[in-house]
Amino acid sequence: MSTDYYELLEIERDATTDEIKRAYRVAARRYHPDANPGDATAEARFKEVATAYEVLSDSERRRSYDRFGADGPQMGDPFGGFSGGGLGDIFDAFFGGGGGANPGGGRPGPSAGPDLEVAVDIPFESAVFGAQQEVTVRTAIACVTCEATGAAPGTHAETCSQCNGAGQVRQVRQSILGQMVTAGPCPVCRGAGQIIPEPCPTCKGEGREVTDKTYTIDIPAGVDTGSTLRLSGFGAVGPRGGPTGDLYVQVRVEPHARFSREGDDLVHHLHLPFTQAALGAAISFATLDGDEDLVIPRGTQAGKVFRLRGRGVPHVRGRGRGDLLVQVIVDTPLDLEPEVEEALRQIATARGEDVAPADRGFFSRIKSAFH
């Protein structure tokens, strides 16, 4: 009995395309030959999950599989033709790219390298003012030994004898509609139109190597957590000299000790003693641009917001900056020196305000009366 592709990828039968892709990458990494050297069982399972992904990620083949099973016509095209598409490419588990040099058919030649994605944590100030930041990514670079040809030094690629360099093969199949002629990537050269009799010992014929590479990127002023930066041509190189993909950098901004962010505005909660709030004051307030004088008017209430225009975050897609919003929090003292308490009582008397007596046991007696 054929293996159930859904069970193989550990997904539900109504899984979405993204869920199928994520499950495939997890399984591919688990069973990849590089992670299981010499394990024939893992290698076989790796090829099985690749086959399962090829079928379930194609809507037509998936519908046919759901109807007829693994032995049905979905293993080629909807009418039983050969689909091709290389299985077990050593780079698939790392980059999610197509294994064949020309998996979609058409003109033979090296395929482009896959896009890559990396997350970077940046300081709050770097997000506000912009900065340069280093990012390290696991990627594929051109093999130096073979100069990205995939052939051992002193040798070269040869025209594929199966497809005569076309990268495609045609097959005649019988179906319920009669005789059908279909075309697909050559299974020998995997759509490249060439084969390598003596693969490069360094890259095993891929023309590229997996390594960690560090780039210095420009962080534009005004970015926020969730922003994505696209760096064209900074992705993985394609096999055998294929074009390079792009690198997508997901930005995560570290929190600040004093400021929070609301869109392009900065927010700060300013704690004031009740004396300054009542009598007013002029204080030096530290912004991200430097110290500024902040005037606190007499009778400032808790919750009052002072707006410092143009001291917020630059508009990443336009000119100007947001504002800095300073919200007042009036602090009530917890411990009073005797002379300060007496002064407050005199103020309360002068204003006709009832306050608790100086007797420390007053609140205890009030509390006990309710028991």
Strand-pair partners of 283: 294
Residue 258 CA, distance from chain mean position: 27
CA distance 192 to 110: 6
Residue 71 pLDDT more than 80?
no
Is residue 100 very low, low, confident or very high in pLDDT (cuts 50, 70, 90)? very low
CA distance 4 to 334: 69
CA distance 89 to 96: 10
Strand-pair partners of 250: 119, 228
Average pLDDT, the chain: 82
Quote the crossing angle between the two packed helices 17-31 and 40-56, to the nearest 10°.
Answer: 170
Is residue 30 very low, low, confident or very high in pLDDT (cuts 50, 70, 90)? confident
Residue 23 pLDDT more than 80?
yes
| Stated length of the chain | 371
**What is the DSSP secondary-structure string of 226-287?**
T-EEEETT-SPBPGGGPPB--EEEEEEEPP-SS-EEETTEEEEEEEEEHHHHHH-EEEEEEE
Is residue 160 very low, low, confident or very high in pLDDT (cuts 50, 70, 90)? confident
Quote the crossing angle between the two packed helices 59-68 and 40-56, to the nearest 10°.
Answer: 110
Strand 208-219 to 131-142 pairing: antiparallel
Q: Is the Cα dihedral 307, 309, 311, 316 positive or negative?
A: positive
pLDDT at position 103: 44
Domain boundaries, the chain: 1-75, 76-253, 260-366
CA distance 151 to 146: 6
Is residue 24 very low, low, confident or very high in pLDDT (cuts 50, 70, 90)? confident
Q: For tokens 């944590």, name the residue.
A: 121
Pick the CATH number of 260-366 from 2.60.260.20, 3.40.50.300, 3.30.70.580, 3.40.50.150: 2.60.260.20
Is residue 195 very low, low, confident or very high in pLDDT (cuts 50, 70, 90)? confident
pLDDT at position 293: 95
Residue 212 pLDDT more than 90?
yes
Write the CB contacts of 38 (distance below 8 Å, at least 6 apart in sequence): none
- Tens digits of per-residue pLDDT, 111-136? 788 899 999 999 999 999 999 999 99
pLDDT at position 367: 58
Mean pLDDT of 188-209: 86
For residue 261, the tally of other CB atoms under 10 A from its CB is 19
CA distance 284 to 286: 7
Pick the CATH number of 1-75 from 1.10.1740.10, 3.20.20.210, 3.40.50.300, 1.10.287.110: 1.10.287.110
Residue 2 pLDDT more than 80?
no
Is residue 230 very low, low, confident or very high in pLDDT (cuts 50, 70, 90)? very high
Better-scored residue on pLDDT, 323 or 64: 323
Mean pLDDT of 255-270: 96
Write the CB contacts of 21 (distance below 8 Å, at least 6 apart in sequence): 53, 57, 96
Residue 61 pLDDT more than 80?
yes
Tell me the one-letter amino acid at 342: E
Percent of the chain with pLDDT over 90: 44
DSSP-derived 3-state class of residue 217: strand
Mean pLDDT of 65-89: 46
Mean pLDDT of 319-341: 92
**What superfamily in CATH does domain 76-253 come from?**
Urease metallochaperone UreE, N-terminal domain (2.60.260.20)
**CA torsion 221→235→21→92, rounded to 10°?**
-160
Q: What is the pTM of this model?
A: 0.60
Residue 183 pLDDT more than 90?
no
CA distance 210 to 92: 12
Is residue 141 very low, low, confident or very high in pLDDT (cuts 50, 70, 90)? very high
- Angle among Cα 26, 32, 34 to the nearest 5 degrees reads 130
pLDDT at position 174: 67
Residue 82 pLDDT more than 50?
no
Check if the beta carbon of residue 168 is closer than 8 Å to that of residue 186.
yes
pLDDT at position 123: 96
CATH topology of 76-253 equal to that of 260-366? yes
